[in-house]
Amino acid sequence: MCQKKQTHKMESGIFNFKDLFEIISYFVTTISLLGLWATYIFSKKQIHFTTMEKCVSNFREISKWKGMPCDISAEYIEFVSEEFFYLENDYLHLKVSIEWIDGMIDYLPFYDKNKVFIESNRLDTLKDQNNTVRLLRDYPRIRKAIQMRQEIDFKIVHISIENENDREKRRQERDKIIYSVIKNLNISWWKKINLKRKIANR
């Protein structure tokens, strides 16, 4: 009888030890996974920040040539292509990309819903359709991005803001362009979820 009790205690001790070991293992695994996740998030933020710095630096370099007797259309197109690549591959945060695409609207040409060419508002070379086609020949990503999916009033897109009503109308039309550009890019489906809301809340 005594021996049975001792055997039972030993078995009980073994099971308790196994349970404790499993709990510790689970705890260590959880901590390790949380650590990996934190490292991933930090690395992603670091990538976003580094990419953002690079894009800002590139844009400043291009901006130095504005107002000078030289055309920067080719350099600007290269810059935009690079930014679209970063957005597609998640090197840029979507909120940042939305703001930057809003700035691109003043420089890029577009094709409206009916495939009518809309000239650039600021770059002379991109005011001509033939020059635009030639310049964008090696940039399929941009060619696809500037094809609009919905009706857009491009006159309102570039109006001078004189009151709050003008500002709101201008913003609504520009939001449509931002939405179409991002939808045309090769981005993941989860980025496209509630995209209109994200653009409206910028």
* Residue 88 maps to a domain: yes
Residue 176 scores a pLDDT above 80 = yes
Give, for 55, the enclosing helix (H) or strand (E).
Answer: helix 2-63
* Most trustworthy range by pLDDT among 36-40, 57-61, 109-113, 195-199: 109-113
* Residue 120 maps to a domain: yes
Segment 18-40 shows an average pLDDT of 61
Segment 122-143 shows an average pLDDT of 95
How far is residue 52's CA from residue 30's CA, in Å, rounded to a whole number? Answer: 33
Same domain, 10 and 100: no
- Which of 89, 90, 80 minimizes the C-alpha distance to 55? 80
- Confidence band (pLDDT; 50, 70, 90) for 60? low
Same domain, 21 and 70: no
Count how many domains the chain has.
2
* Residue 32 maps to a domain: yes
Domain that holds residue 9: 1-46
* Residue 126 maps to a domain: yes
What is the sign, positive or negative, of the torsion defined by CA atoms of 49, 170, 177, 154?
negative
* % residues pLDDT > 70 (the chain): 65
SS3 25: helix
Of 65-69, 72-76, 81-85, 120-124, the poorest mean pLDDT is in 65-69
* Residue 131 maps to a domain: yes
Same domain, 112 and 162: yes
Same domain, 113 and 28: no
Same domain, 18 and 97: no
Of 29-33, 90-94, 187-191, the poorest mean pLDDT is in 29-33
Segment 120-129 shows an average pLDDT of 94
More confident residue, 45 or 57: 57
Helices 2-63 and 73-88: crossing angle, nearest 10°?
170
Same domain, 80 and 119: yes
Residue 183 scores a pLDDT above 50 = yes
* Residue 171 maps to a domain: yes
* Residue 54 maps to a domain: no
* Residue 137 maps to a domain: yes
Of 35-49, 60-74, 85-99, 140-154, the poorest mean pLDDT is in 35-49
Residue 32 scores a pLDDT above 50 = yes
* % residues pLDDT > 90 (the chain): 50
Same domain, 175 and 85: yes
Segment 80-96 shows an average pLDDT of 90
Supply the pTM of this predicted model: 0.73
pLDDT for the residue 167: 93
